[in-house]
Structure 1
């Protein structure tokens, strides 16, 4: 290697190192807004084909069309928030206005469970710990609300410019990614498939599971079954154990109140029907939408929630899928062996 080539390699390494350092600094400083950035990418990929169809085939103007998509997404996001406020707020007000009654019921239920199972759910230490946690959650909720609003603003702001200039951004990314063209196309198609499968599939699964859970609550006489069905659908975002956060306490409370057979029926229904709806839907529906292996979905959600927060439900499975695809691309690019992607 001659001196000029050596100097060129050193310069290349220095520039790449500088790029990585600056990128790391930017990611670190903007990490609080990462859910908003990823959300914008998600909505862009979902909207992309419809948006370009309106722009290029129907000759709609770019800016009004982008704003129309954003308004539509605002309405879609507002629906669950509106339902949450209308269903949950009366329940919260009822708890606040009837604290003594609620405490008496919970204490009675805990004592009944302790008599039957010899397990004390409520002790002086537990109550003190719960009170401290609830008190600590108030400033966290206020901070979380401000962060969420900031992420929503960033998401729609970035989405507007992605819709306006997405084709240019895609072209630039295709040029700067240091892989063979067909491998870049593989990454692009994998990204579209995984994001569409998770962004569209998971909410549909949660709605279906919430409806089946609400039916079970109605059949077995649970008060305010619509509210509990809605909350079960919300927690169904978290695979395997999400719905248990709702129906297990409801079953135990009914059992403690002496409503024995309906409680047993609810438990059996929740395990056989509500639980299997989640399992079957994630295997069949998600696989049909994007040929997503159930293991990728489950592990991806666990990883994604820790890394990205709520938006990790979508990008966690994508991250695991990327890892698998990049290993295959590395083998194809640098070892000479052919691996099917």
Structure 2
């Protein structure tokens, strides 16, 4: 079959577009995570933007107000909490050096040999040293790369602002690129919306709120180094299957061991009744049972996403994996059959 001049032009256009796409990716690669972060934040705070837009009537003003609010929500805690976290990291490291783990291990395992107790002491000291060193290194890296991080935050704010302001134009542009029919597109968009709602609100935002409430428990009951424990609780709350119980239960057991039984009981009851119920309440409010994403998909997506994209991968990973599974399911159900038919 001979190649016509029309075929050559078509191939040339496709190659040119592919070349431009590669160049665009290379340009955006250093700031890609900041762009994605701005888009994700815009999705999270879009309901607030719509509410404010009803009052002020101007899209630019509404987007600016929400942008200022989100920047303050991010920067103010960083400004005030970074010095406190540094201090608490040093306190934990000092505590790890002074804490008599042998006495605690001997009280739990009265018949243990001295060799076993020595091994417990070494393992405990090494584990705490690695944890505190890791946190301290993260804080040092943050301070050393402050200028780069500031530029990234500004880019996030820029993307966030214009995504809110031009949301309708962006939606029309993406819809115009879709090769799907309107029925197919509406079906997939609804599924993607449910998935995004399930992961971002049901798991990420809900986990953050649950972790913050766990942190309030540390503060209310006077637990030492509450800020560091809160950060750990927030991270664990976001991860599926695990949850903040992996931090507050050991703390409660520690309080029991050192003889603070009433404090331990009150602390554990607070977490079991209030903190544990927050997850189910928020999930019921934001996500229906039919649209919840599998915990296995979220866990695998978060772990894989974290290794590739860092902290933002906790969101990107499960979203990409869930979207891919949705496309496979749509292909299996012949929802996308028109795209692969010869007619």
State the TM-score, normalizing by the size of structure 1.
0.70
Secondary structure of the corresponding residue to residue 179 of structure 1:
coil
Contact 2:330 2:336 in 1 (8 A): yes
- 1:1-341 matches, within 5 Å, as 2-4=2-4, 6-8=7-9, 10-11=11-12, 13-15=14-16, 17-27=18-28, 29-30=29-30, 33-48=31-46, 51=49, 60-78=57-75, 80-81=77-78, 84-85=81-82, 88=85, 91-92=88-89, 94=91, 99=94, 102-106=95-99, 108-110=100-102, 112-113=104-105, 116-117=108-109, 118=116, 120-123=119-122, 126=126, 130=130, 139-143=140-144, 145-201=146-202, 202-208=204-210, 210-211=212-213, 215=217, 223-224=223-224, 227=227, 230-231=230-231, 233-235=233-235, 236-243=237-244, 246-247=247-248, 250=251, 253-254=254-255, 258-259=258-259, 277=277, 280=280, 284=284, 287-288=287-288, 291-295=291-295, 296-330=297-331, 331-334=334-337
Q: 1:272 to 1:63 in 2, by over 3 A?
A: closer
Once the two structures are TM-superposed, the CA of residue 176 in structure 1 deviates from its matched residue by 1.6
C-alpha displacement of 1:62? 2.9
CA distance in 2, matches of 1:183, 1:40: 28
Which range moves more in the overlay, 130-139 or 322-331? Answer: 130-139
* Cα distance change of structure 1 residues 287 and 155 upon mapping to structure 2, 3 Å threshold: same
How far is 1:72 from its partner? 1.8
Task: Flag structure 1 segments of 5+ consecutive residues without an equivalent.
Answer: none
**For residue 112 of structure 2, what is the aligned residue in structure 1?**
none
Contact kept? 2:306, 2:313, Cα under 8 Å: yes
1:36 Cα shift?
A: 2.1
Q: Tell me, in whole angstroms, the C-alpha distance in 2 between the residues paired with 1:215 and 1:309.
A: 28
Please state how far the C-alpha of 1:244 moved relative to its aligned partner: 5.2
Over 3 Å counting, the alpha-carbon distance change for 1:104 and 1:24 in structure 2 is closer
TM-score by length of 2: 0.70
- Cα 1:94–1:52 change in 2 (3 A) is closer
Q: Could you list the runs of 5+ residues in structure 2 that have no partner in the other structure? A: 110-115
**Secondary structure in 2 matching 1:122:** helix
The alpha-carbon distance between structure 1 residues 278 and 328, as it changes in their structure 2 partners (threshold 3 A), is: same
C-alpha separation in 1, matches of 2:309 and 2:17: 26
Contact 2:253 2:264 in 1 (8 A): no
Are 1:209 and 1:277, in contact at CA under 8 Å, matched by a contact in 2?
no
Instruction: Give the conservation status (yes or no) of the 8 Å contact 1:210–1:234.
Output: yes
Please give the alpha-carbon distance, in whole angstroms, between the structure 1 residues aligned to 2:87 and 2:69. Answer: 28
